Structure 1
Amino acid sequence: MDLDSRAYSKLIHAHNSVGGSEEYIRIIVAIGPLSGRHDHETPKMWCSRIRDLFRKILEENPRILSKNGYITKYRKLYKDDRIHGLPTNYIYCSVCDSLVYTPANGRFDDHYRDNHLKRCINGNTISSKHARRKDILQSIDSREFRIWQCKQEILREEAKINRLHLELFSQSTPHSEKDMLTSVSCDFDSRSITYKTYKQVKMTIAENTMPSAPNFEPAYIPPTRQEMVSPTSYQSSNCRSDTGKLFISSQYVKQPKGTVLRLGDRSEITVV
């Protein structure tokens, strides 16, 4: 069998169960020490150290293992006077014979590692690149979702704090008004913080922040298509009619009113 997450589960189960297969136990005992990195050891150094040893284990157990497999690099975590092993983003793959960076490193993110092994075995380079890109984008979206969940929880706790402040310092304010003042940030509960809700919010934000054409009247368009606006649209303390043309990109046009822009000659322009 290929040494993927399912094979590792079988080996670990055999190791932890009473009367487990001695061959399985011997394999997991041999692989276990290779996954941990030494102190001050880089991923590349780790890969160089364990590469031949790992491939040897695969080759010496043909009855159970094929020569296709990966091993995950673990890091040490010192907690409560104990050393814990945590998976990193790096694996060594015997098929492509290289150190590979995977999009996720959690204990339950085995599908990223398994997907890489399958793609290497299939040998389709073009589809592999697209699949890897999909895995990375999926991991990014998953992390953004977790960040969004945390932000919603923070907003809810802030709403509770604001309600307590009103209760403490606004004794004369009716309870209904206090609830109304803090209901905007607290208009959700833990059950509503779902991935579906997150996607709806994300799509709404994207639609509301679509870039629109700047509302200004161009004074002149040179052959290079550089955008310019009339200097009369701005206030400048050091701009005079005999100093030449003033070039302002559309990035500055979109700034809020009252924004003060400092030019290279230290003159200032205020957006009005």
Structure 2
Amino acid sequence: MDLDSKGHSKLVEAWNSGRSDEYTRILEKLFPLADKHDHETPEMWCSRVHDPFRKILEEHHSSRGGILSGNGYIKMFGKLIERSDRVHGIPSNYIYCNVCDSLVFIPENGYSSANCYRDNHFKSCINKDTISKEHTRKKEILESIDRREFQIWQYKQYILKEEAEIKRLQLELSPQSTPHSEKDKLASVSYDYDGHSTGYKAYLLAKATMAKDTMPSAPNFEPAYIPPARQKMVSPTSYQSSAPNKTISEIFISSRYAKQNNLLPSIDHLNQPALRLRDGTKITFV
């Protein structure tokens, strides 16, 4: 039996049923290893459990009449204090995998989805599929980010709704001559709310709209021309001149320098063009 999510579940089931066999003896050894000590970093925890965990896998290996295959991972548990008299451990984002012999970060730390992510890493290690493991890892991290962003967006939608309701209650303290429909309008209260506005499709639509609105636009270059002039080749230089209510910025770049550095391959020495940036800065090729 591999010590993956299914293997750990079997150990816990045996423990909860009150059995007294190899399953519970293994879990009794794993319990103290899984808990992270106070002020202990994940790396320190991994260093501490590395040898004892591998020893458990060897002692209960099937070749010795045990039930373990020799491969597995162990979850690191943090501490959550719910009451002053009780301390409960909660799964962290880390596991130690004996197959790749390393501390592994898991993007989820719950139960259902986290077990899937842990098992995906473990299976990739068993199959020695390094490329697939890295691809899966990146995909899982992106999925976890998106799930959390969706939750944050849902919370914000709920807060906006509650703020509108509070405003509506405050408006109810105003003179009774104000029509109720006008109060609803001032408070932005909608009677069409059915809960679907906070669904995943609405989130994706809002996310796409936000990305479109915040997409940076390309610089707006306006071509300009100056009379021909012969000057020595120089590197780009700039100056600023001030007028009573105006500041003008100008950058000079030699045409030969521009050609050498592929800044403007098609430059015409006779025309000597200039470009103007959106902020008014003029770039002149001389």
User: TM-score interval w.r.t. the shorter chain?
Assistant: 0.7 to 0.9
For 1:167, give the aligned amino acid. E
Matches within 5 A, 1:60-71: 60-62=59-61, 63-71=66-74
For 2:157, give the aligned amino acid. Q
Over residues 51-74 of structure 1, what are the superposed CA-to-partner deviations in whole Å (9 max), with x where a residue is unaligned? 110111111112321111111111
Contact 1:156 1:186 in 2 (8 A): no
TM-score (norm 1): 0.77
Contact 1:155 1:185 in 2 (8 A): no
Cα distance in 1 for partners of 2:191, 2:133 equals: 44
Q: What residue is the counterpart of 1:175 in the other structure?
A: 180
Q: Does 1:14 align with 2:14?
A: yes
TM-score (norm 2): 0.74
Structure 1: gaps spanning 5 or more residues: 254-272
Q: What residue is the counterpart of 1:210 in the other structure?
A: 215
Q: What residue is the counterpart of 1:34 in the other structure?
A: 33
Q: What residue is the counterpart of 2:109 in the other structure?
A: 105
For 1:5, give the aligned amino acid. S
Label 1:214 to 1:187 Cα distance change in 2 as closer, same or farther (>3 A).
Answer: farther
Contact 1:89 1:103 in 2 (8 A): yes
Over residues 141-160 of structure 1, what are the superposed CA-to-partner deviations in whole Å (9 max), with x where a residue is unaligned? 01101111110110111110
Over residues 186-228 of structure 1, what are the superposed CA-to-partner deviations in whole Å (9 max), with x where a residue is unaligned? 86343432222211221232234333335563668xx999xx9
For 2:6, give the aligned amino acid. R
Cα distance in 1 for partners of 2:199, 2:27 equals: 38
Cα distance in 2 for partners of 1:156, 1:121 equals: 49
Larger proportion of strand: 2
Label 1:185 to 1:59 Cα distance change in 2 as closer, same or farther (>3 A).
Answer: farther
Aligned counterpart in structure 2 of residue 80 of structure 1, from 79, 83, 86: 83
Question: Which is worse superposed, 177-186 or 25-34?
Answer: 177-186
Over residues 107-135 of structure 1, what are the superposed CA-to-partner deviations in whole Å (9 max), with x where a residue is unaligned? 33211111111111111111211111101
* Sequence identity percentage: 58
Cα distance in 2 for partners of 1:116, 1:161 equals: 48
Cα distance in 2 for partners of 1:35, 1:180 equals: 56
Deviation at 1:45, TM superposition (A): 1.1
Question: Which is worse superposed, 115-124 or 57-66?
Answer: 57-66
Moved over 4 A (4+): 184-187
Cα distance in 1 for partners of 2:235, 2:21 equals: 75
Partner of 2:27, secondary structure, is helix
For 2:48, give the aligned amino acid. R
Q: What residue is the counterpart of 1:52 in the other structure?
A: 51
For 1:8, give the aligned amino acid. H
